[in-house]
Amino acid sequence: MYCSSMFIGYSDFHFNGSNVSISHNFAVVEIPENTIKAVSEYLHRKLSAQFTSGEIDFITKEAMRKFLGMAPHEMRLNLSQRLSESELLKFIYLVKDLKKDIPLQYILGEAHFYDLDFEVDENVLIPRPETEELVHLILNRFGQSHHSLLDVGTGSGCIAVSVKVNRPEWNVAAIDKSVGAVEVAKRNAGRLNAVIDFEVTGIEDYGSDREFDIVVSNPPYIDTNERESIDKNVVDHEPHLALFAPENKPLYFYELIADKAKKLLRKGGSLFFETHYQYGDEVVKMLEKKGYEKVELIEDLSGNPRIVAAEYHQNG
């Protein structure tokens, strides 16, 4: 749920009929020398007003990998390699979509997360590096022993699938209110051979009689009043259902999940939240008031308080 303009990132690259019919002359005019080096220079020239040089390097690397199947070292070793007209058009339309503020991940149709590639589209949030740290914490804290986990608001399934791939013996369930999101998550799980129990529902309506060792969520926390302060590429393209909390209630979903988790967790079970650094202390106080114990506020690699972990030892 971390909103950053650096999330330029991947959606299926679709050509419609008009795209395919564009003439050879158009591609030649845009990129006269049809080499990998010329494409890289073209991307820097066309995108320099919108992105930093480092961001354009990232875009170039990811686009080369997606469109040409070429790793960064291969790109550097093959700068004089010539590209076909259809290959050039992919980069030309990549630039056009980026100039519309469409995130790179949606354009390319995938996002890299925890050493795995996830399909993403506008039904799901683009997975962020901070969420990788949440997955890493859970995997390290619980080790190889058998556990059960519920991922609330699964989106692309990046948390649930990453946990299952790395801990295949765990029982993992995941829920989301969005039918489109669950469809994407199911495809990711299927492609990565992760057996997960998915359900289209919100936490307030989740009627499972199962008990879990772990409940984890990266819920919406952006106040609708703050919409104007959020990056345009996020607000215009990422799903609002996964971004925004009710007006003046940024902790609304945290409280909802914390209350329901009391009934879903085994005695001594653990609740994990990803949160915005501004709300970390408030989430800690809220959980303590609700009877959670061993409540921790954990910093991410940038030193920002990002993850809240707690245990519940009472009978739900």
Over residues 170-187, the pLDDT tens digits come to 999 999 999 999 999 999
| Residues 193, 125 within the same domain | yes
Predicted confidence at residue 153, as pLDDT, reads 93
Q: Is 197 a member of any domain?
A: yes
d(CA 114, CA 116): 5
Q: Is 10 a member of any domain?
A: no
Choosing from 44, 75, 108, the residue where a domain stops is 108
| Residues 181, 277 within the same domain | yes
Predicted confidence at residue 236, as pLDDT, reads 55
Higher pLDDT, residue 122 or 119: 119
What CATH code is carried by the domain that includes residue 290? 3.40.50.150
57-66, 123-132, 173-182, 203-212: lowest mean pLDDT where?
203-212
Mean pLDDT of 241-266: 79
24-33, 52-61, 195-204, 288-297: lowest mean pLDDT where?
24-33
Domain range for 215: 121-312
Choosing from 82, 108, 134, the residue where a domain stops is 108
Predicted confidence at residue 247, as pLDDT, reads 65
| Residues 184, 285 within the same domain | yes
Reported as a pLDDT band with limits 50, 70 and 90, residue 250 is confident
The whole-chain average pLDDT of the chain stands at 85
Reported as a pLDDT band with limits 50, 70 and 90, residue 16 is very low
Contacts of residues 30-36 at CB distance under 8 Å and 24 or more positions apart, as own/partner, are 30/88, 30/92, 31/88, 31/91, 31/92, 34/82, 34/83, 34/84, 34/85, 34/88, 35/79, 35/80, 35/81, 35/82, 35/83, 36/64, 36/68, 36/70, 36/75, 36/78, 36/79, 36/80, 36/81, 36/83
| Residues 195, 292 within the same domain | yes
| Residues 129, 157 within the same domain | yes
| Residues 139, 82 within the same domain | no
Predicted confidence at residue 185, as pLDDT, reads 97
pLDDT tens digits for 41-89? 999 999 999 999 999 999 999 999 999 999 989 988 989 999 988 899 9
Choosing from 85, 108, 131, the residue where a domain stops is 108
| Residues 148, 48 within the same domain | no
Q: Is 171 a member of any domain?
A: yes
DSSP run (H or E) holding 186: helix 179-191
d(CA 111, CA 105): 6
| Residues 192, 66 within the same domain | no
8 A C-beta contact, residue 46 and residue 29: no
The total domain count for the chain is 2
| Residues 135, 187 within the same domain | yes
pTM for the whole thing? 0.84
| Residues 184, 298 within the same domain | yes
8 A C-beta contact, residue 91 and residue 67: yes
Q: Is 3 a member of any domain?
A: no
